[in-house]
């Protein structure tokens, strides 16, 4: 009897995919150049793929509401701040000579504490002082989630 129970076989695929996904997420992906397509393909069940579309759409609204768009393009142009398209997953050169990966934690910190890490070639203090008056609203946790999700969606 070497009949492997069918259910086991069927379950192994998705489980493996989830495990790989978790590993990929946790790693921070420092070796990955800026993504072009969604990194996890189409085989994963909805909800675990790269971007939560609904949250990203809310983020897009907040991006305008909070005036982020006055300093950040999403098309690659430099305005006051760096363009945000293609940022997620990319290596960012900092003013202090270090390089960081623009993962979720970095995006979150860049919004909540803009002067914690300064992007090379850009002015310090400008973002922080400009958004200081809306910081209370921005800080509400799922606003930041939405903004981060929106930035992640910008390819």
R_g (Cα) of the chain, nearest Å: 19
- Decide: is 40 part of the binding site for ligand HEC (CB under 6 A): no
Write out the DSSP string of the chain: -----HHHHHHHHHHHHHHHHHHHHHTTTTTPPSPSS-TTTTTSPTTSSS--HHHHHHHHHHHHHTTGGGT--SSS--SSS---TT-TT-EEEBTTS-EEE--HHHHHHHHHSTTSS-BTTS-SSHHHHHHGGGHHHHHSHHHHHHHHHHHHH--
Of residues 34, 70, 99, 140, which one binds ligand HEC by CB under 6 A? 70
Of residues 147, 149, 152, 153, which one binds ligand HEC by CB under 6 A? 147
The interface region with ligand HEC, picked from 7-15, 27-35, 39-47, 102-110 by CB under 6 A, is 102-110
Cα of 23 vs its chain's centroid, Å = 17
Size of the site for ligand HEC (CB under 6 A): 28
Shortest distance in whole angstroms from residue 25 CB to ligand HEC: 19
The interface region with ligand HEC, picked from 25-33, 36-44, 46-54, 84-92 by CB under 6 A, is 84-92
- Decide: is 123 part of the binding site for ligand HEC (CB under 6 A): yes
Of residues 56, 127, 146, 154, which one binds ligand HEC by CB under 6 A? 127
Residues that bind ligand HEC (CB under 6 A): 66-68, 70-72, 80-82, 84, 87, 92, 102, 107, 110-111, 114, 118-119, 122-123, 126-127, 130-131, 138, 147, 151
């Amino acid at each position: 009897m070497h009949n492997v129970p069918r259910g086991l076989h069927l379950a192994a695929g998705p489980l493996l995919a989830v495990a790989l996904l978790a590993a990929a997420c946790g790693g921070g992906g420092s070796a990955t150049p800026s993504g072009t397509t969604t990194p996890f393909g189409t085989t994963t069940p909805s909800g675990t793929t790269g971007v939560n579309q609904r949250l990203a759409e809310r983020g897009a609204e907040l991006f305008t509401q909070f005036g982020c768009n006055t300093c950040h393009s999403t098309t690659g142009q430099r305005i006051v701040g760096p363009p945000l398209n293609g940022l997620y997953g990319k290596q960012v050169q900092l003013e202090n000579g270090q390089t960081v990966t623009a993962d979720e934690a970095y995006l979150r910190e860049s919004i909540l504490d803009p002067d914690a890490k300064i992007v090379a070639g850009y002015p310090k203090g400008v973002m922080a002082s400009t958004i200081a008056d809306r910081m209370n609203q921005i800080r509400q946790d799922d606003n930041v989630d939405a903004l981060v999700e929106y930035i992640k969606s910008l390819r």
